[in-house]
Amino acid sequence: MRFVVFCLFGMALLGMALSACGGDDPAQDAGLDALVDAGLDAGLDAGDSMGDEGPAVAPLSTLGCEMSEHTGLDIIQPQTLIADFSAPRRLPDSINTPCPQDAVEMSPDGRRMVFHYSVNLIDTVLIPEGRFIEGTEVRFQEQLQDGDWDAARVLELRRGDPEAGCAEVCSAPGETWVAPDGSRVIYHALGPNCIGYQQGLPEGQFFDLDLYEAPMTNMVPGDGVALEGINSEYIEGEQWVTGDGNSLIFASNRPGGQGGIDLWRAERTEGAWSAPECLPEPVNSAGDEKQAVISPDGQWIYFASDRSGMTGIWRVAIEPDGSFGAEAENVITGYVGEPSFTEDGRLFFVHVEVYFGEESWEVVDSDIYCVEPSDHALPCTQWR
């Protein structure tokens, strides 16, 4: 038996789901189910075929998304609110597709992009018998010499060592950090045992998101291992990691925070993580905060927050002594999140498209956008 559970995207997993999931047309849903199954089968086959040459080109079809008919307009467009950055620019169709792209993570030099992708529509992520169907995957693309991007390839993260704290097949991998030298990856996924619904979770929480780390060679990850000292029965995910992999900021609903979901910080010394520390106000608030990133100059922490009602990207100054400034500033508005910087100051993020009709509204897609610093010589969509 299949049934709809919730919208499976990085922002949705931690509180940014904007509509009820599930379609109203049984015939259309049946047709989309068949397309999802076909794409799923192709995706798993490709994941099994990885060899010494690296990951296979991502095979999942966009046909299910292209079949969807949406009425109304995406009237809430992303908007830059400060003078430091340009107006938002949508990345080209060589990256964005009719299916949703989410959880973007840029390499410091801007030449590699990792993101979460779904062959499903946001409102048709299904689970059979309480377990997620993997119509989703983490992908990456690399810049070619002519400035365009190569075909998307799968970053296969559904592998793990059960004895080391990760199930044999990890479910729903999402937010992903890749070390600058490509030697390892830290990501969040459903766990333990990758069950979508679990007994014994905190009241009001029906899934467990945890953080994992895996070695990687030629963009092919090894077995994932749970981050000991970080994971709990609460949600841990949507992480940012320093280049050396030893400083971590993540989102969690664990007790001791300011609101429903808050940002926490931990440091790794000689292989062991410190006890997570909740970041103070004005970084955290009575709302939900997630998806933090430190600016390349180290002077700001950027993050997604719904403190104003609509989820947007905010920032708080980092003082020379490491403390935080007294004010939080809304940088980009319009159902946006997942900020990620390149070392030259370009800011990439995800915009969730919400289509408003005459009597209803629905989340239908998410795409990757960017802004460049005001004094930047090139648009953020144009590479050298």
| C-alpha–C-alpha distance, residues 228 and 275, integer Å | 10
- Residue 120's pLDDT band (boundaries 50, 70, 90)? low
370: pLDDT strictly greater than 60: yes
Per-position DSSP letters for 65-101, written without gaps between them = HHH----SEE----EE-STTB---EEPPTTT--SS-E
CB within 8 A of 350, min separation 6: which ones?
10, 11, 101, 102, 103, 104, 336, 337, 338, 366, 367, 368, 369
Two tokens, residue 293: 């990133």
More confident residue, 172 or 374: 374
CB within 8 A of 321, min separation 6: which ones?
none
Choices 3.80.10, 2.115.10, 1.20.120, 2.60.120: CATH for 2-371:
2.115.10
- Residue 15's pLDDT band (boundaries 50, 70, 90)? very low
pLDDT value at residue 107: 93
pLDDT single digits (tens) 288-297: 999 999 999 9
pLDDT value at residue 114: 92
pLDDT value at residue 131: 36
| C-alpha–C-alpha distance, residues 384 and 180, integer Å | 20
What mean pLDDT comes out for the span 229-233?
A: 90
pLDDT single digits (tens) 27-77: 434 433 443 343 333 333 333 334 445 665 555 555 556 655 555 567 789
Mean pLDDT of the chain: 76
pTM over 0.85: no
What mean pLDDT comes out for the span 84-104?
A: 90
- Residue 134's pLDDT band (boundaries 50, 70, 90)? very low
Length of the chain equals 384
Burial class, 152, CB count within 10 angstroms (exposed 0-12 / middle 13-18 / buried 19+): buried
| C-alpha–C-alpha distance, residues 284 and 258, integer Å | 6
Of the chain, the percentage scoring pLDDT greater than 70 comes to 66
Q: Is it true that the peptide bond before 192 is cis, omega within 30 degrees of 0? A: yes
* Lowest-confidence region among 16-20, 111-115, 220-224: 16-20
pLDDT value at residue 16: 32
CB 137, CB 117: distance < 8 Å: yes
- Residue 93's pLDDT band (boundaries 50, 70, 90)? confident
Most confident range, picked from 52-61, 108-117, 150-159, 170-179: 108-117
pLDDT value at residue 167: 47
Question: CA end-to-end span of the chain, whole Å?
Answer: 51
pLDDT value at residue 169: 46
